[in-house]
Chain A
Amino acid sequence: MSLLELEGVEAFYGDFQALFGVGLSLDEGECLGLVGSNGAGKSTLMRTIVGAHDGVVRGHLRFDGGELPHHEPHKAVGLGLALVPEGRKLFRSLTVEENLLLAEEAGRKGQWTLARVNELFPILKEFAKRPATRLSGGQQQMVAIGRALLSNPRLLLCDELSLGLAPIVIKDIYASLEKVRSEGTSLLVVEQDVEAARRVSDHLVCMRSGRVVLSGSSDELSAGQVTAAYFGTEAA
């Protein structure tokens, strides 16, 4: 049985339909890469999965065999999903430590504790008392990942982790995700950088205009196939 299974998922912003019959599945321990250009519907799909999309949602979203609730992200966290949102969304009036504590106190209990997150990202301990939004982009991303981990998710969803970050920082962040995965957490990673997504994922899904247009093993899909699906052109 898949850990996450989507079937015919549709999502709307008012009258505008953003997702059209999206289907995908992810097994326990797997890393799924989700690629697509701006406006493909990746972030909407991520928010829909965790119940944070405000508009109308249709279709089936199953997690560990049970239906996921719509519009109630706090319940999705309780079930074992955590989202690192696009733009990080740190609480600006809280310090780094307070951002992390907030998630630790409200989330599921498990192997990820504040001490373990500080081990994964030692810089966070050093800057614990600083306002979270005063850190650099990469450090803020570490806070956002640490915050999501502190709810001890079975599935961690990461939306555009690399956006606006230097290549060396992106490399460090993906290295830390490898550690997270090695401890049994499944990953769903949204990326615009196809190569980065191929490197970290077992399976790759490409979206365009709110639809899944390509799906397959990251090793088996050729760069040409992914590029063609990404831009909507003929494969070379």
Chain B
Amino acid sequence: MSTLADILVQGVLLGGLYTISALGLSLVFGVMRLVNLSHGDLMIAAVYLALAFSFGSPEVNAVLLILVAVAFAPIGYALQRLLLNQVLDPDPLRPLLVTFGLSIVLQNLFLLSFSADTQRLRIDALTEAVVSSGAVSFGALDALILVTAIGLAFGLQTIFFHTKLGRRLRAASDDSSTLGLMGLNWRHVFGLASAIAFVVIAIAGLLLALRSNVDPFSGPSRLLVAFEAVIIGGLGSFWGTLLGAMLIGIAQVVAGTIDPGWQSLGGHLVFLVILALRPQGLMPRVAQ
């Protein structure tokens, strides 16, 4: 029984990390129908930016991490206005090719600037602390990641459904070409969506690097799980993304307990089963 509880707790904690990785993708894909293949690399970019600000030292503090996350907002806005808005098209091939190219450029930039060595970030008080409760114990960092994931899902859901900006984002998601007739510039609205998404992407990357090692080529593997969580959660629902990520996390831990080699397979199987049974996702925003 205690083993089962431990597995569930570990799965949920892993799901927390996947949630944060997926929320930015959920926002970008939900509003702009843009599949950003450089999503994982942008997470890693936040890690290298933090390392650059700390002059290469893995020892960082919370203030530095918050600064990096905030700095990603204007980066996201600028990238959207200057590059991604130019390639948005009913044909998904153009944005796919451009973001794939961006992914390659970023990976090589990381390689040139920081070498192929693995890197990580450390806040000693956080990364070494352990929380124990009966037979279940977990790292304080994992708990922080889970709380952050729930907080971000709640925050994005609140912005999306209860604010003026959220109305604009949902309208842009429905029909960006009609947004102009309301007096709104869709390019700016998409830029704001990316600014928010990039902050979430940066948080995901920084928490990932506090938890495990990353290297210049760690990004693409992060994209796949994030994309699965978004799809099975349902488009445009951040709680759905959280639920999808949790299910993948739990499935991975359960499969990993049976055989460590099956960990990734467990997550993919859950994705396939839910996609087959409920193609619209578990909690889609709009009932079609």
Residue numbers of A with Cβ under 8 A of B are 50-52, 72-74, 77-78, 82-83, 85, 89, 91-94, 98, 101-103, 105-108, 147-148, 151
* Contacting pair A94 B167 (CB below 8 A): yes
- Say yes or no: A50-B174 contact (C-beta < 8 A), given A94-B167, A102-B167, A105-B164: no
**CB of B59 within 8 A of chain A?**
no
* Contacting pair B167 A101 (CB below 8 A): yes
9-residue interface stretch from B100-108, B182-190, B244-252: B182-190
* Contacting pair A98 B183 (CB below 8 A): no
Q: CB within 8 Å of A: which of B148-202?
A: 164, 167-168, 170-171, 173-175, 177-185
How far apart sit A93 and B178, CA to CA, in the bound complex (Å)?
14
* Contacting pair A91 B183 (CB below 8 A): no
Closest 8 interchain pairs by CB? Answer: A73-B180, A77-B183, A106-B183, A91-B171, A91-B174, A89-B178, A107-B183, A74-B185
**CB of B62 within 8 A of chain A?**
no
Nearest residue, chain B, Cβ from A92: B174
Minimum C-beta distance from B239 to chain A (A):
16
* Contacting pair A106 B182 (CB below 8 A): yes
* Contacting pair B167 A83 (CB below 8 A): no
SS class, residues of chain B in contact with chain A: helix
**CB of B122 within 8 A of chain A?**
no
How far apart sit A203 and B196, CA to CA, in the bound complex (Å)?
50
Nearest residue, chain B, Cβ from A101: B167
Residue numbers of B with Cβ under 8 A of A are 164, 167-168, 170-171, 173-175, 177-185, 236, 285-286
Contact of A91 among B164, B175, B180, B236 (CB under 8 A): B175
Q: Which residues of A contact B177 (CB under 8 A)?
A: 52
Minimum C-beta distance from B91 to chain A (A):
15
* Contacting pair A102 B181 (CB below 8 A): no
Q: Which residues of B contact A93 (CB under 8 A)?
A: 170-171, 173-174, 236, 285-286
12 new A-B pairs (CB below 8 Å) besides A52-B177, A52-B180, A102-B171?
A: A50-B181, A74-B180, A74-B185, A85-B181, A89-B175, A91-B178, A92-B174, A93-B170, A93-B171, A94-B170, A106-B168, A151-B183
* Contacting pair B170 A103 (CB below 8 A): no
Minimum C-beta distance from A124 to chain B (A):
16
How far apart sit A91 and B236, CA to CA, in the bound complex (Å)?
15
Contact of A147 among B167, B168, B182, B236 (CB under 8 A): B182
Q: Which residues of A contact B167 (CB under 8 A)?
A: 94, 98, 101-102, 105
Contact of A83 among B175, B181, B236, B286 (CB under 8 A): B181
How far apart sit A93 and B168, CA to CA, in the bound complex (Å)?
11
How far apart sit A137 and B170, CA to CA, in the bound complex (Å)?
22
How far apart sit A108 and B179, CA to CA, in the bound complex (Å)?
15
- Say yes or no: A102-B178 contact (C-beta < 8 A), given A74-B185, A93-B285: no
Q: Which residues of A contact B285 (CB under 8 A)?
A: 93
- Say yes or no: A73-B181 contact (C-beta < 8 A), given A89-B175, A92-B286, A93-B174: yes
- Say yes or no: A102-B180 contact (C-beta < 8 A), given A74-B185, A92-B174, A93-B173: no
Q: Which residues of A contact B175 (CB under 8 A)?
A: 89, 91
How far apart sit A166 and B162, CA to CA, in the bound complex (Å)?
36
Nearest residue, chain B, Cβ from A98: B167
Minimum C-beta distance from B167 to chain A (A):
5
How far apart sit A50 and B177, CA to CA, in the bound complex (Å)?
12
Minimum C-beta distance from B172 to chain A (A):
9
Identify 11 residue pairs between A and B in the complex whose beta-carbon atoms are under 8 Å apart, listed by A's number: A72-B185, A74-B182, A74-B185, A83-B181, A85-B178, A89-B175, A92-B174, A93-B171, A93-B174, A103-B182, A106-B182
Q: Which residues of A contact B183 (CB under 8 A)?
A: 74, 77-78, 103, 106-108, 151
How far apart sit A89 and B178, CA to CA, in the bound complex (Å)?
7
* Contacting pair A52 B164 (CB below 8 A): no
Of B171, B177, B183, chain A has the most CB atoms within 10 Å of the CB of B183
Nearest residue, chain B, Cβ from A73: B180
Q: Which residues of B contact A107 (CB under 8 A)?
A: 182-183
Q: Which residues of B contact A78 (CB under 8 A)?
A: 183
